[in-house]
């Protein structure tokens, strides 16, 4: 992927992973204008977890590592309320940012390397089986096809999205950029949770 360069940022109380789907309801003028430009020019914006501040009002301070977001669906059934669905693309690091007078945060960013991936090993197959059950129940409502249950990166990212983890933990998992390591951490957390609840420790 080409260097993203300078992009608008959308600081949110969520963490977007590459390949993930994120529905958004946009009503603030700064983000309505941003989304309109991104749709017109077929270009992404950046989603970053908020480090300080809030989603609404004064510009929030974002984390340095975020994910490019491409609009894959949009609808405006009510004037002034834009509903979009974005899909995560490449991770990036913020090099410098500017809070514009209209409240939009614009940043110079560099793309991060593609994540290390490998087939899901047998010792991590419990996490994969859990994701397969979630996908069987919720399907494309949560995940974009193709489903890649053989991929450590894909399985780990999808689990990190749907599991009730602290946002700070999700951010660290995004920054990790190592699919097998991320999945190993998630499997360990799941096993510990199961054991604490009196389960067998198996997923």
Residue 117 located in a structural domain: no
pLDDT tens track for 131-167:
999 999 998 899 999 999 999 999 999 999 999 999 9
Q: Is 165 helix (H, G, I), strand (E, B) or coil?
A: coil
Domain of 62, CATH number, reads: 2.30.130.40
Residue 173 located in a structural domain: yes
Same domain, 92 and 138: no
Q: What angle do CA 194, 172, 63 make, to 5 degrees?
A: 140
Same domain, 66 and 134: no
Strands (E) located in the chain: 5-12, 21-26, 45-52, 61-62, 65-78, 81-99, 105-111
- Domain termination residue (choose one: 111, 140, 166): 111
Q: What is the pTM for the complete model shown?
A: 0.91
- Number of structural domains found in the chain: 2
pLDDT tens track for 50-65:
999 888 888 889 999 9
Q: The domain containing residue 145 runs over which residues?
A: 122-196
């Amino acid at each position: 992927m080409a260097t993203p360069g300078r992009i608008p940022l959308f600081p949110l109380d969520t963490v977007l992973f590459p390949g993930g789907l994120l529905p958004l309801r946009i009503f603030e003028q700064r983000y309505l204008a941003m989304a309109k430009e991104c749709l017109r020019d077929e270009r992404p914006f950046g989603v970053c977890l908020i480090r300080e501040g809030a989603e609404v009002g004064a510009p929030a301070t974002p984390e340095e590592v975020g994910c490019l977001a491409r609009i894959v669906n949009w609808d405006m059934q009510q004037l002034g309320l834009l509903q979009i669905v974005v899909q995560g693309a490449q991770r990036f690091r913020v090099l410098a940012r500017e809070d514009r007078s209209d409240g939009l945060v614009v940043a110079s960013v560099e793309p991060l390397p593609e994540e290390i991936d490998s087939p899901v090993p047998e010792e991590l197959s419990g996490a994969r089986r859990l994701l397969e059950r979630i996908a069987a129940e919720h399907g494309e409502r949560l995940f974009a096809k193709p489903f890649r249950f053989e991929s450590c990166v894909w399985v780990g990212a999808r689990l990190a999205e749907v599991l009730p983890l602290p946002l700070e933990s999700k951010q660290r998992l995004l920054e990790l950029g190592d699919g097998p390591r991320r999945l190993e951490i998630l499997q360990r957390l799941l096993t510990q949770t199961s054991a604490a609840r009196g389960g067998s420790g198996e997923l």
